[in-house]
Amino acid sequence: MRGGGAMRSDIEIAQSTTLLPIDRVARKLGLGEEDLERNGQYMAKLRLPREKRKQRGKLILVTAINPTQAGEGKTTTSIGLADAMNRLGAKTVLALREPSLGPVFGLKGGATGGGMAQIVPMEEINLHFTGDFHAIGAANNLLAAMVDNHIYQGNELGIDRVVWRRCVDMNDRQLRSVLSGVGGGTNGVPRAEHFDITVASEVMAVFCLAEDLSDLKARLGRMIVGYTREGKPVTAHDLKAEGAMTALLKRAILPNLVQTLEGNPAIVHGGPFANIAHGCNSIAATRAALALGDYCVTEAGFGADLGAEKFLDIKCRMAGLAPDAAVVVATVRALKLHGGATGDLSRENPEALKRGLPNLRRHVENLQQVYGLPVVVALNEFATDTPAETALVREMCRSIGAETVCSRVWEQGSAGGVELAEKVIALTRQSHNFRFAYRADSTVEEKLLALTEKIYGGAEVRFTPQARRELEELEGLGFGELPVCVAKTQYSLSDDPKKTGAPEGFAVTVRSLRVSAGAGFVVALTGDVMTMPGLPKHPAAENIDITGDGRITGLF
């Protein structure tokens, strides 16, 4: 429960915690030195032999309502839940995404939790970590360099239109649209260039969906970098690039082992954004967690309409996974925002809360009715929440067959998540019939309509002329039955961030479609979602500093 008064920052809490050497964390999972590649004293890469990769655990998905700009504590809840389950004696392994430097230095902050529910060492995890994202960016940009070099050296493959983009793991709006190769002579072939943030790169998606090194190499080779004048795709394999790219990712593909503040194991690996990519940690990390624990707690980015949908319809479909239970994280403040409240969201406002509850209801019912999963609501509690407000949330959830548990893990760590842990363990013992939101053999347009109607609450899908042409092209190339990855705002169930609550009957406008042939899905871009975010007026980077003895301050 977050209240007023002097409070220690997340980084102060993390820096005052005594961490376990990583080999002691590994021993909790039955792992020895031969299973680890150390990265300092408190982090390691996991190198699991095949006999240790067999699934035995139950899979728990943590998702959320549509968030405020500060987020609603989904990662914090995931960490606290895993700690609480371990507190109860249930051998639980956490599987999370890695933070991107974009939000770390931007608006939202990192992805290591908060308060007494964090993964550590938080500075290392948030700043560079084990270098995975740098390796992904290097592989992406190596391919970009090979594309432009091929064109410069004579263009034997006849590339007429380049679609592969460079990337950087930073929010930098200046790079959204640039000219490259200018200056004449030996400076390359001039053309328009568009940078993505690294977490939006297809290399990141491939990295997170690959089963092993061989699968990674094959997927990288299938990625489309451009098209000939006749419309024939040119791939990374055509450029003989996938071998060198895989070599850059050889160590990065190994999952990372760290710990929570309470010394419980956390596997942190991969990190695509959910509003512009598929929002899930790597299959390798999830499989490792399921193999090493009786339970795996994992999260999917932003609201359930984005992260959970993609986790279920893309990741679970490709990997053959089936969750045993789902947790939907909500806060009273966010529900009041969805009900039209403005200004101080901590003020009691039961009418706004009532108006905002349909947002929570939609997410819970989607998981229950569309996907067939048992659900519990974790109400991330703040000191300003009143008993009357909490009662309103409980009453609504009870009416649709979902229990509500107040989560106090930010303030109390595992002790504040025991009730939630008990409910989740009970849910995993219930029978259920997990299913997907759309059939694999339906068309891209049918899949988009299914998501719009079943998940978002809309009525129709509209395509811009450009998107309609791209749809016809990708269907003509044989990509018409791939899963879809919708890039849209995280702040609304619709494609308009101003439509809060649970809007109905709206149209989703698809402005562009891209084929991610290596990842194995079609990306549908909607609204004003950018694949290269920008920094806010006062970025978090302004508050980050380092002392003379190397101690980082102001991270959060």
- Note if 58 is an active site residue: no
Contacts of 426 (CB under 8 A, 6+ apart): none
Among residues 274, 291, 341, 467, the one annotated as catalytic is 274
Exposure class string for 520-556: b at 16+ Cβ within 10 A, else e: bbbbbbbbebbbbbebeeebbeeebeeeeeeebeebb
Amino acid at 61: L
Among residues 2, 45, 58, 97, the one annotated as catalytic is 97
- Residue 309's nearest CA partner among 378, 377, 360, 370 is 370
- Note if 454 is an active site residue: no
Asked whether the CA dihedral 232, 179, 463, 279 is positive or negative, the reply is: positive
CA atoms within 13 Å, Cβ hemisphere of 421: 25
Cα(401)–Cα(514) distance, integer angstroms: 39
- Note if 74 is an active site residue: yes
- Note if 260 is an active site residue: no
Among residues 2, 45, 108, 333, the one annotated as catalytic is 108
- Note if 68 is an active site residue: no
Contacts of 355 (CB under 8 A, 6+ apart): 338, 339, 340, 501
Among residues 105, 133, 207, 302, the one annotated as catalytic is 302
- Note if 274 is an active site residue: yes
Two tokens at 65?
Answer: 């309502």
Among residues 410, 463, 506, 521, the one annotated as catalytic is 410
Strand residue runs (E) in 428-537: 460-463, 484-487, 507-516, 521-526
- Residue 63's nearest CA partner among 371, 330, 380, 322 is 330
Looking up tokens 């915690």 gives 17
CA atoms within 13 Å, Cβ hemisphere of 208: 31
- Residue 113's nearest CA partner among 264, 252, 6 is 264
The answer to whether residues 401 and 414 touch, using CB atoms and an 8 Å cutoff, is no
Asked whether the CA dihedral 470, 471, 473, 479 is positive or negative, the reply is: positive
- Note if 302 is an active site residue: yes
How far from the centroid of its chain's Cα atoms is residue 165's Cα? Answer: 21
Among residues 207, 382, 436, 463, the one annotated as catalytic is 382
The answer to whether residues 119 and 266 touch, using CB atoms and an 8 Å cutoff, is yes
CB atoms within 10 A of CB 477: 15
Distances (CA, A) of 294 to 62, 96, 119, 325, 374: 17, 17, 20, 14, 18
- Note if 97 is an active site residue: yes
Contacts of 193 (CB under 8 A, 6+ apart): 165, 166, 177, 178, 179, 180
Among residues 58, 74, 408, 423, the one annotated as catalytic is 74
Among residues 17, 63, 76, 404, the one annotated as catalytic is 76
List the catalytic residues.
Answer: 74, 76, 97, 108, 274, 302, 382, 410
